[in-house]
Amino acid sequence: MDTKAIADLVSALASLAWPVLAFLVILKIFPLAVGLFKRERVRIKIGDMELSAEQAGEAFTSQIKDLQAKLVQIEDRLGMSGGSREAERFSEIETLPTRRRILWVDDIPTNNAISIDKLKGDGYDVIVARSTREAIEQIDSSSGFDLIISDMGRHESGRYVPNAGIIFAREIRQRALNLPIIIFSSQVSIQKYQQDAREAGVTAMTTSVVDLYLFIQRSLSAAGKAS
């Protein structure tokens, strides 16, 4: 992995470090907060969304685990002469243009509240849709999006569709919209639908919020080089 790729990954990690560290300090200084986070009574507002304290705690825990995994990857890559599959995958998308408007499709958007708030803080206009139908309506009624993030399985019209992200990607490609589509989902879903996603025109799939940030950062960096 080259120096720039490592620098991009470190930058993505750094963007998550302060909120996670702040959360850990709060838990250390105020032990009673742990009890509050186990109850649903306390509500926390993150950006435009309101989460229970327990939901917020779970989200932070997930990002902490993600940070730990990425730190291990940095250590491994620094001692490697060649890149991993994941590094090679990201190197292939360095030519993407600048991304400013993001459509995020998820039937439970509170799961992504921290990530959405961070992207908005970074200057992106993030629009949330809870279903494929709502996402298509957003696309038809707006001036356009530069990047789409979607979960894999979600409830559509009252029933759960395990491959909803794939179906949505096909609709986007049928409209001749040539923009990145990222599936942000569980490892189980990604492994199960990897081939279908590729055939549907999905650009990338990841379980990691750090990889998600890295993808967007590289897109913006590549656009800066082209301009």
Please write the tens of the pLDDT for every residue from 147-176: 899 999 999 999 999 999 999 999 999 998
* 38 phi, psi to nearest 5 deg: -90, -10
SS3 sequence of 80-140: CCCCCHHHHHHHCCCCCCCCCEEEEECCCHHHHHHHHHHHHHCCCEEEEECCHHHHHHHHH
Closest Cα to residue 167, out of 212, 135, 126, 142? 135
Coil, helix or strand for 160?
Answer: strand
In CATH, what number does 97-226 get? 3.40.50.2300
Question: What does the block give as tokens for 112?
Answer: 């992504």
Residues 6, 117: Cα–Cα separation, whole Å: 25
- Whether the full predicted model's pTM is greater than 0.75, yes or no, is no
pLDDT value at residue 104: 97
Domain ranges of the chain: 3-90, 97-226
pLDDT value at residue 70: 65
| Residues 155 and 189: beta-carbon distance below 8 Å | no
| Tens-digit pLDDT string for the chain (227 aa) | 566 666 666 666 555 555 555 555 544 444 445 455 555 466 767 677 776 766 766 676 666 666 656 665 665 565 543 434 444 444 444 444 444 789 999 999 988 988 888 888 888 899 999 999 999 999 998 778 888 999 999 999 999 999 999 999 999 999 988 888 999 999 999 999 999 999 999 988 999 888 888 887 776 555 445 55
Q: Other CB atoms closer than 10 Å to residue 171's CB: what's the count?
A: 15
